[in-house]
Amino acid sequence: MLRINSPGGSALASDIMWHAVRRATEEKPVIASMGSVAASGGYYVAMGADHILADAGSVTGSVGVFGGKFDLGGLYDKIGVRREVITRGRNANIYGDVGGFSDAERERVRAIIDSVYTDFVTKAAEGRGMAYDDMDALARGQVWTGVEAERNGLIDEIGGLRRAFAVAKIHAGYSEDREFELLQLPAAPSLWDIFGDDEWSLTRLAVGRRPAALVDAWWALADERAFALMPFDLSFR
Task: Enumerate the active-site residues.
Answer: 40
DSSP character at residue 78: H
Would you tell me how many other CB atoms lie within 10 Å of the CB of residue 17? 20
73 class by beta-carbon count within 10 Å (0-12 exposed, 13-18 middle, 19+ buried): middle
β pairing state of 51-54 and 143-145: unpaired
How far lies 165's CA from each of 17, 49, 53, 96, in Å?
A: 21, 14, 10, 47
β pairing state of 157-158 and 143-145: unpaired
With contact defined as beta carbons under 8 Å apart, do 32 and 49 qualify?
yes
Q: Which helix (H) or strand (E) holds 204?
A: helix 202-206
How far lies 84's CA from each of 44, 87, 93, 98, in Å?
A: 39, 10, 12, 10
Contacts of 10 (CB under 8 A, 6+ apart): 41
